[in-house]
Structure 1
Amino acid sequence: IRLGPLSIQPMEFVKIALALYLAYFMSTKQQLIKTFSRGVIPPFAVTGLFCFLLLLQPDFGSAVVLAGILFFMCVAGGTRFIYIFFSLALACAGAMALAIAEPYRLRRLLAFLDPFQDAHNTGYQLVQSLLAIGSGSFFGVGVGASRQKMFYLPEAHNDFIMAVLAEEMGFVGVSIVMALFALLFWRCYRIIMGQRELRDRFTAFGITTILVMGAVMNLAVVMGVAPPKGVPMPLMSYGGSNLMATMLCVGLLLNFSRTAGAWTRSS
C-alpha cells in the first residue's frame, strides 16, 4: 500500500494482529475452547478471512504463514486434536488444489523438487542460492567478497541474505548466526513460561511463533528444503515493513520479559 513516499506491506502487521487476537480468544474462552461452534469456528473464520484476502492478491505463501500461526496457537490453546487434524487435512487438500489450479504455482513446486532441471528459469533463484552456499565452504570467501550477490542471486539483500552470508562467512558464520537465533528463542521460551497471566503467556507465545516461523521458513527456502516463498529473515533481511513488525515483536517480548523477571524474583 502506497502512502505518499512510503510503502507498507500489510501482511507484516496482519501476523501480529492475528497473534494478538488468537491470544485474547484462547485465554478468555478456555471453557469453550474444546467446543466446535464457539471454540473453533470464530478463530478459524477470522484466519480464513485474512487468508481469502491474501489469496485474492494472489499471495499463497502468506496465507500459509497465517494458517501456521493458527495451527500452533490452537495446539497451545488446547483445541481438540480431532478438530486440528481434520482442519489440517482440509488445509492440505485445499493447498494442493490451489497449487494444481494455477500453472505458475505448480511450476514453482516442481522447480523446488528438482531446481537444476530448469536452472535458467523457474529453478534459477534456488540454484544460485545453492551455488552461493556451496562456494562458502567452511570459512567462506571473506566478508564483502560474495560473487553471487553481484546480480546473480535475486533478492540477495532480502529473502536470500542467508545464502550470501553462507558464501562470505561459510559454515562457521552460518552456525554462529543460527546459535544466536537459538539463544534468542530460548530466551523467548523463558519469557513465555515466566508469565503468570494466561493471556500474557499466549500473547508471548504467538509473537515468538511469528519470529520462529520467519527464521525457519527463510532458512528452509534458502537451503532448498521448502518451496520458494518470500519470507524475510527476522532482524537480518532488508525491508522497512518487516523490520518494523519484527521490532514490534521484540519490543512486546522485552516488555513481557520485565514482567516475567519481576514475578520470578517475587516467587
Structure 2
Amino acid sequence: MKKHLKNMDYPLLVIILLLSLFGLVMVYSASFVHAGLDPNVNDPAFYFKRQRLWLILGLFVFFFMSMFSYRRLGQLTPLLFLITFLLLLAVIIPGLGVTRNGATRWLDLGFFLLQPSELAKISMVLYFAYALTKKEDRLDSFNKGLLPPLLLLLGVFTLIVLQPDFGTAASIMIACGIILLFAGAKFIHLLGLGSVAIVGALLLILGADYRRERLTSFMDPFADPSGDGYQLIHSLIAIASGKINGVGLANSVQKSGFLPEAHTDFIMSIIAEELGLIGVLFVIISFMVLMFKGVLIAKRAPDQFGRLLALGITFQIISQAIINMGAISGLLPITGITLPLISYGGSSLLITFAFLGILMNIAIKGNIVRGYNREEEVDNSKEKQFKAAR
C-alpha cells in the first residue's frame, strides 16, 4: 500500500476530483428546480443526493481498480466481454429492457438501473487492447490479426445502435480505432476500415427517420423550433445568455422547464449559462489536461498492453466529452451522450471511475518501473565511479 500511494499520479487524481466535485455542484444547480416541482420526487436535492452517493461509490471503485493489476484484469477480458454481450442482448429482448424517452437502454435491477452500453465501453477497450497485444505478430494479416476483434466490435456496435444509442456506439468505435492505430496495423487496412466506418455511419444516419431528423435539426434547428430543433435552440439560448461571467450559479433560466435533461445531456449548457465562458474554459482545459496525462501515462507504460489500454481509456473519455460538447453547441448532432464525471448518472459515473482507476494503475506500474530503472542507473554510476577511483 505504501508503494502504491508513493507512486500514484497525483496530478491525475487532482483533475479527477476537481471535475467530479464540480459536476456534483452543477448537478444540484441544474436539477433542483425540476426535482422540487416533480410530484414523484418533491425534493430539490433528490438528484444531488443520488449523485453524491454514486460519487462516493465511484471513488471506492477508482481506488480499488487503481490497486488491481491491469495485467490480471486483461486475463479476465473474455469473461467480461461475454457478460457485456449477454446484457446488451437482454436489453433488446421485449419485457426485459427499460424504455425511457423512446430509447431502451437499461435493465432494472430493483435498486439500480444498469446501462449495459456503459459496461461495453470498458469491456471493448480492454478486449481490443488485450487482443491486439496478443496478436502483435499477426497484425500485418487482416484475416488472422484484425478480423476477429473487428467482428466482435461490430456485434457490440450493432446491439448498442439498436437501443438506439448511436453516440455511445460511436465513442466506443473511436476508442477502439485509436487502439488499432497505435497497435501497429498496416496503413492500407486502417484506410479501408476508416472508409467503411464513414460510409456505414452515413447509411445508419440516413436509414432511420429519427436520425435524419436529428441531422437536419442540428444543421438548421430553427426550421422546426417546437419539434426536433427545440432542445438545441434552448441550449444555444443558454450558452448565449452566459456571456463571459455567466448569470450566476443556480440562476439559470433555461433549466426552469425550458431545457429538458438539464442535469444530464445538457448540463454543459447550464454551465455556460450560469458560469459563462470562464466555466466552459474550466471544463475544456480540465479535459485537455486529462487527455495530456492519459497520453503521458501511455507513453510511460511498462508494456504494450498498458500503452494500448491507457490510450483507449483516455480517448474513450475524451471522445465522449467532445461528442457531448459538440452536440450542445450545435457543432454535432444531438446523440443523448452524457458529459463524463459531470453529468448526472450512476452507471456512467461508476464506469468512468473504473476507467480512471485502471489508468491510475497503469501510471503506478509505470512509475514503479521507472523508479527501479533510476535506482539501477544510480547503482551503475556509483560502480563506474568506484572502478575509476581504483
Is the TM value for this pair above 0.5? yes
Q: Does the Cα contact within 8 Å between 1:194 and 1:263 map onto a contact in 2?
A: no
Q: Does the Cα contact within 8 Å between 2:140 and 2:186 map onto a contact in 1?
A: yes
Mean Cα displacement is larger for which, 142-151 or 75-84?
Answer: 75-84
Name 1:12's counterpart in structure 2. 118
Tell me the SS of whatever aligns to 2:295.
helix
Match of 1:141 among 237, 244, 247: 247
Name 1:224's counterpart in structure 2. 330
Say if 2:57 is the partner of 1:57. Answer: no
Please give the alpha-carbon distance, in whole angstroms, between the structure 2 residues aligned to 1:248 and 1:22: 17
- Go from structure 1 to structure 2 and tell me whether the alpha carbon gap of 1:95 and 1:184 turns closer, same or farther (over 3 Å shift): closer
Say if 2:321 is the partner of 1:215. Answer: yes
TM-score by length of 1: 0.96
Q: Does the Cα contact within 8 Å between 2:239 and 2:272 map onto a contact in 1?
A: yes
Name 1:167's counterpart in structure 2. 273
Name 2:262's counterpart in structure 1. 156
- Go from structure 1 to structure 2 and tell me whether the alpha carbon gap of 1:99 and 1:182 turns closer, same or farther (over 3 Å shift): closer
Deviation at 1:231, TM superposition (A): 1.4
Q: Does the Cα contact within 8 Å between 1:139 and 1:169 map onto a contact in 2?
A: yes
Please give the alpha-carbon distance, in whole angstroms, between the structure 1 residues aligned to 2:249 and 2:168: 32
- Go from structure 1 to structure 2 and tell me whether the alpha carbon gap of 1:193 and 1:157 turns closer, same or farther (over 3 Å shift): same
Name 2:43's counterpart in structure 1. none
Q: Does the Cα contact within 8 Å between 2:133 and 2:305 map onto a contact in 1?
A: yes
Name 1:263's counterpart in structure 2. 369
Deviation at 1:106, TM superposition (A): 0.7
Name 1:91's counterpart in structure 2. 197
Q: Does the Cα contact within 8 Å between 1:221 and 1:229 map onto a contact in 2?
A: yes
Name 2:351's counterpart in structure 1. 245
Structure 2: stretches of 5+ with no match in the other structure: 1-106, 374-390
Which stretches of structure 1, 4 residues or more, deviate above 4 A after TM superposition? none
Please give the alpha-carbon distance, in whole angstroms, between the structure 2 residues aligned to 1:241 and 1:259: 27
Q: Report the AA paired with residue 55 of structure 1.
A: V
Q: Does the Cα contact within 8 Å between 1:160 and 1:222 map onto a contact in 2?
A: yes
TM-score by length of 2: 0.66
Please give the alpha-carbon distance, in whole angstroms, between the structure 1 residues aligned to 2:336 and 2:298: 28
Q: Does the Cα contact within 8 Å between 1:157 and 1:237 map onto a contact in 2?
A: yes
Name 1:233's counterpart in structure 2. 339
Match of 2:303 among 197, 200, 204: 197
Please give the alpha-carbon distance, in whole angstroms, between the structure 1 residues aligned to 2:310 and 2:206: 37
Name 2:141's counterpart in structure 1. 35
Q: Does the Cα contact within 8 Å between 2:306 and 2:362 map onto a contact in 1?
A: yes
- Cα deviations by residue, 1:10-61 (Å, 9 ceiling, x for unpaired): 0111010000011111211111012111111011101001012123323333
